[in-house]
Chain A
Amino acid sequence: MNALTKISNFFMTPAMKIVMIVAALLFPFVAGNEYQIYVMALAFVWAIAVYGMNIITGLCGQLNLAHGGFFAIGAYTLAILTVDNGWAFWPAFIAAGAVGAILGFLVGVISLRLKEHYFAIFTLCVGFIIYLLLDKWEELTHGALGIINIPAPSGFGLVDFTETTPFYYLALAFMVLSIWLASRIAHSLLGRTFLAIRISDDLAASLGINLMRNKVLAFVLSTTYASVAGALYAGMVRFIGPAEAEVTHTFDMITYLLVGGIGTLMGPLLGTLAITWLTQSLQFLEEYRMIVFGPMLVVLVIFFPKGVVGSFLSWRGRRLAAAHDASQTKEKAASNASSNKPSAASTQEAGNHA
């Protein structure tokens, strides 16, 4: 076993998770300034939304372009309830998740009657309608002015979440919870059901899977993730406007997914963090950073279409399979050497190979 295999094995162990969580816990102490902690916390909030997108698009294969819209719905629900209706933060936060789920259900039931590109285009329109509503329905949303003075999450007198570092830990906690649930789903029969739908509607239906019910479930899960992330975002930034619903946010999230590895468990996190920090380090280029960014993305999509994590998993899967085959051959050779007649099992296997 060489070093490369050892390292790649370590990535898959529970110890790796502990290392990552410890690193995240220590980050505020090693960060150079408060701004870096702020950027990291914001990346965590976006990562939650990207995990939601990974459920409907990565696992279930339905390209949902209204995802940014649902992020904005979560942010606005929280803002409207707290600022205009005097709700406390946490009840409004729960309500934001619920509104995201209910609207997700209604949109899902209609839009998921369409397949593939038609679904993508329909949800693109849904996202735009959400944007228009937020921009024009002034009585409810304050229109283009946006909503200011959104309260930070209440710390019940114990912590002050208007401070950057406490909020960082709050965002981290929510993100870990999101990843935990995403991992539960992905590794369960439910995740396998979604994956069968991603391969093909026809195949999934022929395996007795109710397409509509499972697609709507995946859609509702994803919109709930998006609106919870949106609500956290509102509590962090404390000012929101209709721009939160712009389709560029959706495309940003798709980029995070593609870079990290669509349909993988750690891809959304890795992609979000990588792009966020890359964008930060290219700030000095201002709008010209896209000149650097665009070609990098093109190269990545051409040579690593499965993203960083997806490519790693394929590479590792092949190595494991090869190692497995090699050890089997060795065993067989050993057993053949010890007894001259080959075992029944290996003969049968050879027969099946033919």
Chain B
Amino acid sequence: MLKIHNLTKRFGGLAAVNNVSIEFEANKINAIIGPNGAGKSTFFNLVAGAMAPTEGRIEYQGMDITGMACDRIARLGIARTFQTTMLFDQSTVLDNLIVGHRLRTQSRLWDVIINSKRLRDEEKKCRARAQEVLDFVGLSHIGHRITADISQEEKKRVAFALALATDPELVLLDEPAGGINPEETENLAALIRKMVDHGVTVCLIEHKMDMIMSLADKIMVIDHGEKIAEGTPDEVKNNPLVIEAYLGSDEDAAA
């Protein structure tokens, strides 16, 4: 589904991502782990088109998407969430989700002025899709609430829903379980599994080891911008390089 060849991103002399090659399979949960500052988020930004790589190639479903603009990549079916959840606090939860399907619509200013049939149909379609993804993430009971008033975990779910509203095939989740408690983390992991069951491929960055080890089909470990290991959770867990770089001590492993 996603093939990365020799991806490199340099900021001046610093290589934030250095010569990383990896392949992510469809309908799997792929995880990227690594210490803080290892280059995980930069890697995500490169795949999502938020920045262009210095070297290397990104291939999505056989298509070269290297250096393509963010919005075009989104239309090709790659959605993402961010470390900090960004939502419009003053509107209701459902209202926040309607724009998620905008990229699958055609209406322009002229449609708005004359209130064309196309616009009305597309607005109905976007609203229906918003309701659908809200149901999917299990929040249909709070669709009417003002977004500022919902919990952190609920906001995370809304962010998932927003990404799903774009009809993606690949979803990039940047620290989905950041800032929420262990019980909520488990629920969120269940939701991620549910996404994969419905045919969405997931790629996530996460620091919570227990979550990753039980959830991921494949893990890539990055340290200092370089890929130091890849494989199943068990393979990665026993890799001496990973233990040295990441799970160096018991405290780290527990964190």
Contact = CB atoms under 8 A, between A and B. Distances in A.
B126 interface: yes
Interface in A289-310: 306, 310
Nearest to A208: B103
Interface range, A side: 35 or more
A115 interface: no
Interface of A is mostly: helix
A314 B74 contact: no
B102 A189 contact: yes
A309 to B, nearest CB: 11
Contacts of A208: 71-72, 74-75, 102-103, 166
Interface in B96-146: 98-100, 102-103, 105, 107-109, 111-113, 115, 119, 122-123, 126, 138-139, 141, 144-146
Contacts of A287: none
Contact of B102 (A185, A192, A353): A192
A205 B70 contact: yes
Interface of B is mostly: helix
B102 A314 contact: no
A196 B139 CA distance: 21
Contacts of B99: 189, 192-193, 195-196, 207, 209
Contacts of A352: 138-139, 141
Nearest to A194: B99
Contact of B107 (A190, A196, A203, A217): A190
Interface stretch (A85-93, A268-276, A320-328): A320-328
A318 B146 contact: yes
Contact of B145 (A196, A211, A321): A321
Contacts of A198: 88
Interface in B126-172: 126, 138-139, 141, 144-146, 148-149, 162-163, 166
Interface string B67-79: 0011110110001
B206 to A, nearest CB: 19
B213 interface: no
A342 B162 CA distance: 31
A205 B74 contact: yes
A206 B119 contact: no
A313 B90 contact: yes
A314 B90 contact: yes
A209 B112 contact: no
Interface in B45-76: 48-50, 69-72, 74-75
Contacts of B100: 207
B119 A188 contact: yes
Interface string A89-120: 00000000000000000000000000000000
Contacts of B91: 195
A17 interface: no
Nearest to B150: A321
A263 B90 CA distance: 10
Contacts of B185: none
Nearest to A318: B146
A41 B101 CA distance: 42
B79 A190 contact: no
Contacts of A221: 109
A320 B112 contact: no
Contacts of A189: 98-99, 102, 105, 107, 112, 119, 122-123, 126
A264 to B, nearest CB: 9
Interface centre among B92, B111, B113, B141 (most CB of A within 10 A): B141
A195 B87 CA distance: 10
Contacts of B69: 205
A199 B86 contact: yes
A210 interface: yes
A20 to B, nearest CB: 22
Nearest to B88: A199
Contacts of B98: 189, 192
Contact of A321 (B79, B86, B109, B146): B146
A181 B113 contact: yes
B112 A188 contact: yes
A188 B107 contact: yes
B113 A328 contact: no
Contact of B86 (A184, A200, A210, A320): A200
B149 A209 contact: no
B82 interface: yes
A210 B71 contact: yes
Q: Which 8 A-B pairs have the closest CB atoms?
A: A208-B103, A208-B74, A205-B70, A352-B138, A192-B99, A188-B112, A321-B145, A317-B146
Interface of A: 181, 184-185, 188-190, 192-193, 195-196, 198-200, 202-203, 205-211, 217, 221, 263, 306, 310, 313-314, 317-318, 320-321, 324, 328, 349, 352-354
Given A192-B102, A211-B71, A321-B149, 8 more contacts: A184-B112, A189-B99, A189-B122, A190-B107, A202-B82, A206-B48, A206-B163, A354-B183
5 contacts: A189-B119, A190-B109, A198-B88, A205-B74, A353-B141
